[in-house]
Amino acid sequence: MHTAILGTQWGDEGKGKMVDMLAEDKKVKAVVRFQGGNNAGHTVVVKGEKYAFHLLPSGILYQDKTCVIGNGVIIDPQVLLSEVELLESKLGKKHANLLISEKCHLIMPWHIVIDQITGGKIGTTSRGIGPTYKDLVGRRGIRFMDSGDKKSWQEKVSEELSWNKKYIDLLCQVYKVSKEEQNKLELNKKLSLKTIVQNYWTWLSKLRKNSLVKVGDVSLFLDKLQQQGSKILFEGAQATLLDIAHGTYPYVTSSNPTLGGLYIGTGFRPKDLRVGGVVKAYTTRVGAGPFPTELNNKIGEKLREKGYEFGTTTGRPRRCGWLDLTIVRYAKLINGLDFLAIPKLDVLTGIKPLKIAVGYKINGKVKDTFTVNEKELEKAKVVYKTVDSWKEDLTKCRRFTDLPKQAQNYITTIEKLTGVPVKLIGVGPGREQIIKKQ
């Protein structure tokens, strides 16, 4: 049976760690990333060594796997090359094979410039993600397959650069970007045709020449694995409430981190698929947008400090709040969740009182599933359930029965109020600190 691991909240739930652990299964032959770009960040800790990935799938540390970057992922080739080179500086060639879809779109310098000018209100990472997806949908994008021949590559880049220079000039007028600010953006340097063509050709060529990296047809590869009876593990970036269609719009990402994105982002239909939702033991989000259970107090600060809630990609401090089960029920509705994984249960040790959001009171009626209607959220009053806290250290627990009764109750409360069984529980950053709940 194949497995998809998805975020259920606003991202940063700890999906990478769960994917890394599940990839240990010898029957899993491929780990597939199917959407997003280097605005995502997954952190894996193995034997005290910390690995931060942005484009590489979390299973990259296993030599017997193939890590796949599907067509739904957009790639900054400089970032991907840097990740591969950094990994190989630590491990040499002792990592998984990497297959990149030839259909992947490339993040170009003009995308990053456009994002820097326009992305402030939403709180983007300024890495060119939204503008690249916009070009993808607008049929102006440049794909990996366009870099096969240097002459045609230069022609393609020249055409798109010319168009985007005019567009950026217009944006500078609309957004009232001063000449001084334009100089800070280094537009002339970043938008030099010669520099772009040479740099990108170098980065893409180095990736192609790496013996463990291939560019090809992801759909055919995955179909062949399925026919052979191999297991495939799918890894979502970001999370349900950041989905462009189903999240807290417009404070969302530009792709589909929900289950539907898997099919679009791979061109493959997995059969016998189970879907796991990762639910951080509390709730966090980065950037602007609604957050009903946010704690702007000492408890919120304590969660941020104990959980080290700072973005893997940007380093930005995350907003912290109580676990919101209305969100988890919404994620269950959108993705059809079969099981849950709960990382960072250990962070809640010593937090008293301990609360869980179970509904919203809107216009006198209690709603138990999250609403992405911003006007309704503005009127909503959160309904909380107070649960017993604990003071014991959880980091050395390895079985569910090792947990104090109050921590066990926290998990069983989540199961009862969502109707989804919890299978995995994180009690620390290490790969070995995941409890498999029977």
Catalytic residues: 12, 42
- Here the tokens at position 2 are 């194949």
From the number of C-beta atoms within 10 Å of its C-beta (0-12, 13-18, 19+), residue 301 rates as middle
CB contact burial 91-129 (16+ within 10 A = b; e otherwise)? eeeebbbbbbbbbbbbbbbbbbbbbbbbbeebebbbbbb
Beta bridge partners of 76: none
Task: Determine contact, residues 231/27, Cβ cutoff 8 Å.
Answer: yes
- Here the tokens at position 340 are 């849950």
Say which residue the tokens 């209607």 belong to: 373
Task: Determine contact, residues 85/117, Cβ cutoff 8 Å.
Answer: no
d(CA 22, CA 233): 8
d(CA 130, CA 136): 10
DSSP 272: S
Spell out the residues 6+ positions from residue 19 whose beta carbon is closer than 8 angstroms to its own. 5, 31, 42, 57, 58, 59, 233, 235
d(CA 90, CA 87): 5
Nearest to 40 by CA among 196, 203, 297, 255: 255
Which residues of 151-224 form beta strands (DSSP E)?
213-216
